[in-house]
Amino acid sequence: MIELKGVSYIYPNGNKVLDDIYIRIENGSFTTILGDNGSGKSTLIRHMNGLLKPSQGVVSVCGMDTASPADIWKIRQTVGMVFQDPHSQAVGATVEEDVAFGPENLALESDEIRLRVTNAIANVGLECLEDSLLMSLSGGQLQKTAIAGVLAMVPEILIFDEVTSMLDSDSRSQIIDIVRQLNKRGKTVVYVTHHMEEALFADRVIVLENGYIASDGTPWDVFREIYASGRKVPPHLELAFRLQDAGMISPDVFPMDALSLKEEICPSR
């Protein structure tokens, strides 16, 4: 569980990026943090594993204060983080070496490291590329390697910082599938994105705007709110909302994709 209480963050140059944020992330939940470029979402999540310390307020991870140096390594083992640029987080020459980096830092025995590496690589479906040079991989494969690298630390909570924003659409949907699978297997997920489509799968969506929380709720509530304020939502949702407003389909439907609207519009009997 992660808890932020009254967190503000002010950059050394005086810019206030986060303003009095209260968030509680429950165990096993899937939370998406949605925000435009520059809304402060990266700054926010960097507080969740102690990469940044709040200027004001307290961040605690499973009861440990991120500001206390004694707990910081325990916190980083508990909260794994995957970053945006697949090319700037590789730390080994081959896939398995990269994945082994974390467990090696934990000073585990090599048998244990091997076990964790094999498991982590299987979790992201890169078994056949174990031995490949990272330099020869595509962005999507690199990003899967990065996820495996974090999984090898066996964290309880996973944070994904715009991990798909530099990927093509195929890799994007593969990565999202992996993230959803991990959540189903019990990992707590915090997923940061500016793609609204990627927020549909979450239990909870938090919208960040200029450093404060603009809305917080289920995807349905949040997307309704965004739609009501006249801004763009994913096309199939916009269509669904408009049809609902026109009384054409049931007002309780929250379709995950366009095709699931078909039954609503034109029920087969």
Partner 1 sequence: MEGFLFSYVAGKSILHGLDPRVKIFSVMCLSILIFKSSALVDLLVFALLFVGLTILAGSGLSGIMSVRPLLPIFVFIFLIHSFFTEGAALFNSQFSPTYEGLLKGSLVTVRFVLLILYGSLLTSTTRPAVITAGIERILRPLPLRRVGVTSFEIATMMSLALYFVPHLLWYAGQIKDSQLSRGSKYRRNPISGTLSLAIPVLKGSMRMADDVAMAMESRCYQGNFRTSLFELKMTARDVLVCSVVLGVTALVLYA
Partner 2 sequence: MSIEVNGLHFSYGNGKKRLTILKDVTFSVGKGEFVGIIGNVGCGKTTLIKHLNGLLVPLSGNVTVDGFASSKKEVCRKVGVLFQQPSKQLFCKTVFEDIAYGPSNFGMKGDELEHCVHDAIEKVGLSSDILGSSPFSLSGGEMRLVALAGVLSSSPDYLVLDEPTSGLSTFYKERLFKTLELLRQNGVGIVLVSHHLEDVLGVADKIVYLTEGKMVFEGTPEEYLSSLSLPAPEITVLMRELSSSGLAVKKTVFSVEDAFNEIVGALSEKRG
Q: Which residues bind partner 1 (CB under 8 A)?
A: 49, 51, 73, 76-77, 80-81, 83, 85, 87-94, 96-98, 100-110, 113-114, 117, 131, 133-136, 146, 149-150, 153
Least spacing, CB of residue 257 vs partner 2, in Å: 6
Asked if residue 214 binds partner 2 (CB under 8 A), the reply is: no
Instruction: Say if CB 103 and CB 153 are below 8 A apart.
Output: yes
Q: How many CB atoms lie within 10 A of CB 134?
A: 20
Residue that is written with structure tokens 């297997």 in the block: 185
Least spacing, CB of residue 208 vs partner 2, in Å: 12
Asked if residue 169 binds partner 2 (CB under 8 A), the reply is: yes
In whole angstroms, what is the distance from residue 157 CA to residue 80 CA? 6
Closest by Cα among 61, 58, 231, 248 to 156: 61
Interface region with partner 2, contact rule CB under 8 A, candidates 33-41, 45-53, 110-118, 203-211? 33-41
**Residues 95 to 154 in contact with partner 2, rule: CB under 8 A:** 138
Burial of 232 from C-beta contacts in 10 A (0-12 / 13-18 / 19+)? exposed
Asked if residue 229 binds partner 2 (CB under 8 A), the reply is: no
Least spacing, CB of residue 112 vs partner 1, in Å: 9
Instruction: Say if CB 153 and CB 106 are below 8 A apart.
Output: yes
Least spacing, CB of residue 96 vs partner 1, in Å: 7
- SS3 state of residue 100: helix
Cβ closest to partner 1, residue 153 vs residue 176: 153
For the chain, the straight-line distance linking the first and the last C-alpha, in angstroms and rounded, comes to 46
Q: Which tokens in the block code for residue 153? A: 């630390």
Interacting residues toward partner 2 by CB under 8 A: 36-38, 85, 138, 162, 165-166, 168-171, 194, 196, 231-232, 235-236, 238-239, 242-243, 246, 248, 257-259, 261-262, 265-266, 268
